[in-house]
Structure 1
């Protein structure tokens, strides 16, 4: 098979042509080349179109630009290599005739921009690497030199001082942009990068906020389900206890009936007629009691009021709990600040009050037990300063606290 490249026998580099082999020999002093059937890699970045000759170059390109997709076009670009040495130019022929090539040409270090060289050395680059980068990028700018170093940092001669013929003056290409234009362009690029970074940070913050909200909702739902399951479990347990108690009473009753029948049998009496033994409606003769009936205390009335409120709205535990907490706030504010009229006066038409307490049967009645009275045609609930009873308020607070923390309050 015809050769597709030239391979350096010392470093293994594949070269496309004799010209590249000659240039490689000048830069590295390598002289052992052989024809190879292995084609030079041609990996083209699908994003920007930059060709890369090796996996190392693609890795460097990915590191610099973030582009990771490359198209292998090695077979398309591969062609049979020509081993013919290019003919020397007319000037070279004249110099050979004149005997000029008989003497070795003097090689010197190329001149580069001293200011740019100082900046590169200050950035940590060696003098040889900085000089080579400035020479091959045409002394355009520090950015161009840094880019050249990144693209050629795997070259074997990267840290060798470049040499050019003494009589050959290399004029650096003129920059395409003026310093002012370059400064403006750099400012635009920095501003664009800053805006892009800000947009990315805002997007990430929105994503984090959405995730926090989602997790919070899941936690609340899980907590609600757990509380509901616990409530159902306690109700089922209470029901089972009542059924067990009922069965125990039935066993005791049966045992008493059996003992009674046994005694009648021993006494020689006939068995008791079930109809006579259990009258349909037993008549209980009311007895007059000469003991005074103790009236219900205000604390007991408060407890009954709260129990009634919970039973009337047993399908909405959250609403009942919020009503209890609101009542606790009203009572606590009056107890802490009895001289503040704003805590002792409540507008009944207030939407918040109606939603939390007023619309629930038993809410206003509880406040009236605490001493509040309706005034101005029933528009306000007002607790006069001279009617503030700390003992009553403390009892109200205790009953509310018990209703809030006791999961069985109003259930049994």
Structure 2
């Protein structure tokens, strides 16, 4: 069977023609070649049409471009290898498979390039073959032109192969030469392209950051909504408890009035009133005694605060003005903390202060402040509220209780 390729006996690389084998020999120094019945592969990329000679080339092409579909056209392009070399005069074949020396291929040498530019490109990190190829084929006489050529041809398969030209020729791809103006324009185009890509990436990142901000904002808004809903429920429970307490106070006052009236009639020797009125509405055991509050944390604290305020009013039942001033002073202390929780002067009270003792200390208001989080220091001179223990819900609850004590005429009557 006729040979379909030439194979290097040293590195097993296949070649379609004698010229390709000679060029390989010049570059590598290998001289052991033989015919092979296995043709050189011709794998054509279905996407861009690039031919690949080996499976390794197709794999490299896939990694560089992402193209994965190839058509195997090896059988269509496989031809018997011709071992004869045409003479320079073009008169026809003049050699033979054994090679009698009558037709010698031209000697291939590395083209001459600017040594200074070559050294500068090597110093920039480019390989000698890539730098030589760029200077030879671009014809550039400056670093910028050579670098532009490397950028344009970075995807070439033979970018790192040393170029070879027949001995005695000046070489150079004139068609690919760029004038200084063209090289400058090309460099500007590359910079604009990089700038545009960077701007697109920044816009994409900004869109991602905006999406994240929107998501966080929605989560915070939902958290605030839940907190406000819980606060509304808590306030409703407190309002209901106040109304029930007021109702109980009215009922006890009414019963007290009825008893006083009956006592006066007895002393005056008058017969007792008909009991139909009392029978129509017999005193029932107070169902309110059953505490049906929801197990919300501030509710228990609120009951303690209400009891403390009630004790103050009952202890000083004949000093309404002083009790009112005490409640207003407590409300002022707590209001200042709510408005400026980071201000230490609002969270620290001197116990020996004469005004404080007259309005709060002597009236029994210190336990109420302690329910709000205030603590006595080691010396017992100051009453302070640590910043980490400032609880807005408790402070607002205390304010609501004080306000109720101020406006409710029946608060602390019984």
* TM-score after normalising by structure 2: 0.48
